[in-house]
Every structure is written in structure tokens, then in C-alpha cells.
Amino acid sequence: MPFNGGSQIRVWIPLVIPSRSSDHVPPVPDKTHHDQLAQTRTGYDQWAPVYDCDANPLQALEQPRVRALLGDVRNQRILDMGCGTGRHALWLATQGAQVTAIDFSQGMLDQARNKQGADAVTWQVHDLHEPLPFDDNTFDTVVSGLVLEHIRNLDLFFSEAKRVLIPKNKSGGESGGESADESGGGGDGQLVVSAMHPALFLRGTQARFTDPTTGQLITPGSLPHSISDFLNAALKANLHLTHISEHQPDQFFANQFPRAEKYIGWPMLVVMGFEKQNR
Ligand SMILES: C[S@@+](CC[C@H](N)C(=O)[O-])C[C@H]1O[C@@H](n2cnc3c(N)ncnc32)[C@H](O)[C@@H]1O
């Protein structure tokens, strides 16, 4: 997906909360955790066949930022948490990474598996509200794109991401991590996470799509986390914050992704980088 625009926000203070826009979607009612999971999984199963076809401005804003933060991924073992149709996982594989990609929507995974290059990735069904099915210190890098709004247990998400990461610059034999020992080199210890900016909830916006066959508006269900919720969960997991940036579309970007027009100057995206340090 080409990217040619969008700007980074330096300071954002919500002085005025605007009135609800016409596309306002009501917030998720107080569902049980089980009901919420079912809504999210079913919603993405329904979205899967057209997920890649709707010129999603959030993905376009996010992709170059996440790629830049990931840097050189050659020969890295990378976990993609909530991989969807494989946007990040497939690209990472083309860059020479050894990628494992997990998601709980069979529909999204089916789309991913049918794409060119999918054989290079290990795809796995997994609910991120359960502990990850991997040993400690397995991956050099963990990435997760646009998933956090669906995750109720942020503490588990961040602590599990940290657990499976090989600490930064860990060399063989220091603390007994299997994979680090085998690689003989230093781990990257990097977690890169992007999320729909919580400020979008102030506009009544959440993940949604219109089913082209029925015309029905489908909402997989989003939780109105704040940025401090993300950071506190990461801090609790003892991850070290290395990067945080907030991004808004500008006119140039909106010319390419017209759905972003109404958000010009409004934060749509937050990107965070963390390290698991070797201490
Ligand atoms: C907005 S999509 C993003 C997909 C992909 N990461 C990307 O950026 O293109 C969110 C994804 O998170 C997945 N997801 C949501 N809740 C999940 C959970 N509890 N366990 C695993 N995957 C989940 C959905 O199935 C969906 O594929």
C-alpha cells in the first residue's frame, strides 16, 4: 500500500469534544467477556473477504511507521500478534524474517493463507486472551498492528509479548534462553505495537465495515482504552518504552484516502515501541 502523507502530532490536547458525527457507532455495551470475544471473532470472520478492499486509511497511515520502527528484520524470528489477513506478516517474510502469525479469526487467517508468499509464514489460530503457545525467549521481535482496541486484558497481552521476546542483545548462554543460544547472536528484544488512537472514540468511531452483501453495518466491538492504559500495562510488564508517536492525516493524505478527510488534524493512530532489556 503506497503512503505519501499524514503528519506526526507533537502535542494533542482535546480542548473540545465535538458533537457526534453522523457515522457514530454506539460504544460496546457492557457485554460479558465471552460475548465480546464472540462478537469480535464473528465480526472479523465476516469482514475477512473484503478486509483488504476498503482503502482503509488507518492501515495506510500505520504501515510506513511500523515498518520504519521495525527496521532491518533479516533473519529475525518475529511473532505477529493479531495478524489478520497477513499485512505485516507477509511483508516481514519478504524481508527475510522467519515469521509466526497468530489470530483468532479463522476467516482472516484463511485470507492470509491464500496470499502469495503465505507458505513462508507459520499461521496459527490463537486467542490473545490466553497465554501465548510459545516458550520464553522465542522471538527477536514481536509486532502487533491495530489489535489493542479488541483486547480486554492488556496486562496479559503485554506480559506475554515480553515473555516470548529474547532480551535485547542477549548473547548465548547468559540466561539460558534456548533460541538465543542457538542463534549465537543478540536478540532485538523489540515490541512494536500500533493502535487506533483512543481519540477516535471521542468521534464515536470504532472498527466497523459495511457488509457489501447485506448492507449491514458490522462492528466487531472496540474497547475504549486510553493511551495510559496501554503504557501502564507495558510498564507493569517491565517493558522499556523506546518510542511513542501519534499521527493524524493531512490534506495530502486525505486526497489519496478520502475516508480520512473528516479526520484531518485529528489523531487517528498511536505507534509504540518497547524493549525487553537484558536485566
Ligand atoms: C484491525 S485487524 C488488524 C489485522 C492486522 N494486524 C493488520 O494490521 O492488518 C484486528 C485483528 O485482530 C484480531 N483479534 C482481535 N481480537 C483478538 C483476540 N482476542 N485474539 C486474537 N486475535 C484477535 C482480529 O481477528 C483481526 O484480525
**Rounded percentage of the chain residues whose pLDDT exceeds 70:** 82
- What value does the mean pLDDT take over residues 158-163? 98
- What pTM was computed for the model? 0.86
Whole-number Å distance, alpha carbon 208 to ligand 1 midpoint, is 13
Backbone angles phi, psi at 23, to 5 degrees: -95, 20
Whole-number Å distance, alpha carbon 279 to ligand 1 midpoint, is 31
Helices (H), the chain: 33-47, 57-70, 87-94, 106-113, 154-164, 178-183, 227-236, 251-256
d(CA 95, CA 181): 23
The pLDDT of residue 68 is above 80: yes
Q: Which helix (H) or strand (E) holds 205?
A: none
pLDDT digits (tens, 9 = 90+) for 250-265: 999 999 999 999 999 9
Among 244, 191, 200, 241, CA closest to 223: 200
Q: Is the CB of 209 under 6 A from ligand 1?
A: no
pLDDT digits (tens, 9 = 90+) for 72-104: 999 999 999 999 999 999 999 999 999 999 999
Which long-range CB contacts under 8 A does 182-187 form with residues at least 24 apart? 183/140, 187/137, 187/140, 187/276
Question: Domain locations in the chain?
Answer: 21-275
Q: Is the CB of 129 under 6 A from ligand 1?
A: yes
> Which are the contacts of 243, defined by CB distance < 8 A and separation ≥ 6?
69, 271, 272, 273
The domain covering 21-275 belongs, at the CATH homologous superfamily level, to: Vaccinia Virus protein VP39 (3.40.50.150)
123-70-4 Cα angle (round to 5): 105
Whole-number Å distance, alpha carbon 46 to ligand 1 midpoint, is 13
- Ligand 1 probe mutation, 63, 104, 218, 225, most atoms within 8 A of CB: 104
pLDDT digits (tens, 9 = 90+) for 169-228: 864 433 334 343 333 344 589 999 999 999 998 888 888 888 888 888 888 888 989 999
In ligand 1, the atom with minimum distance to the C-alpha of 48 is 27
